[in-house]
Amino acid sequence: MNSDIEKILVSQEKIKETNVRLGKELTKDYADKNPLFVCILRGAAMFMMDLVKNVDIPIEYDFMDVSSYGGENTSTTGEVRILKDLDTPLSGRDVVIVEDIIDTGYTLDRLIELFKTRNAKSISIVSFLDKPARRIKHVHVDYVGVQIPDAFVVGYGMDFDEHYRNLPYVGVLKPEVYTTK
């Protein structure tokens, strides 16, 4: 295990099992809809690529880069910036937003509002992690992977200051790592 990690919250086995379960649910709910899966970079990239391999129907996917946390901050500002927009028109599409984590809810709240103005036919959310303790915007998450307590987590796509995204599990960062940097 990486020495900056205090403990593992979601193991590789649990990640696999969660992706299989979510993939089955989405396969059932989106048969014949040709949904557009929208990956919110960069955190959701690893989850997205595992998830879609478990979705056994025709789909399309695209990527969007938004950011709410800046650099060294471990809490959100409430601002969501679009760094890279989608290339795919959303009008008439069944959209599945793929996120790694919902924390305050600002990111997803803003994206839903935006996608509605683009006339998506339907919008649902799949989030690998849900941290309900810190919610400010009460967004409905249709597909939740794992609920976690209020800890600063990294790995499986999630970063602290752009590091740890490549860890194959979700771990809790040792507090001394983010207080001394």
Q: Binding marks (x or -) toward ligand PRP, 83..122, rule CB under 6 A?
A: ----------------xxxxxxxxx---------------
Non-local (6+) Cβ contacts of 170 within 8 A are 8, 9, 10, 15, 129, 146, 148, 153, 154, 155, 156, 158
Contact positions with Mg ion (CB under 5 A) in 101-160: 159
Binding range to ligand PRP, per CB under 6 A, among 12-20, 30-38, 64-72, 146-154 = 64-72
Based on the number of CB atoms within 10 Å of its own CB, is 8 exposed (0-12), middle (13-18) or buried (19 or more)? middle
Return the number of the residue (61 or 69) whose C-beta is nearest Mg ion.
69
Nearest approach in angstroms of CB 133 to ligand PRP is 12
Q: Which is nearer to ligand PRP, 92 or 129 (CB)?
A: 129
Contact pattern from residue 49 through residue 88 relative to Mg ion, giving x for each residue in contact according to CB under 5 A and a dash for the rest: --------------------x-------------------
Residue 32 or 162: which CB sits closer to Mn ion?
162
Q: Please, which of residues 116-175 interact with ligand PRP by CB under 6 A? A: 159
141: left (phi over 0), alpha (psi -120 to 50) or beta: beta
Q: How many Å apart are CA 30 and CA 58, to the nearest integer?
A: 9
Binding site for ligand PRP (CB under 6 A): 40-43, 67-69, 76, 99-107, 159
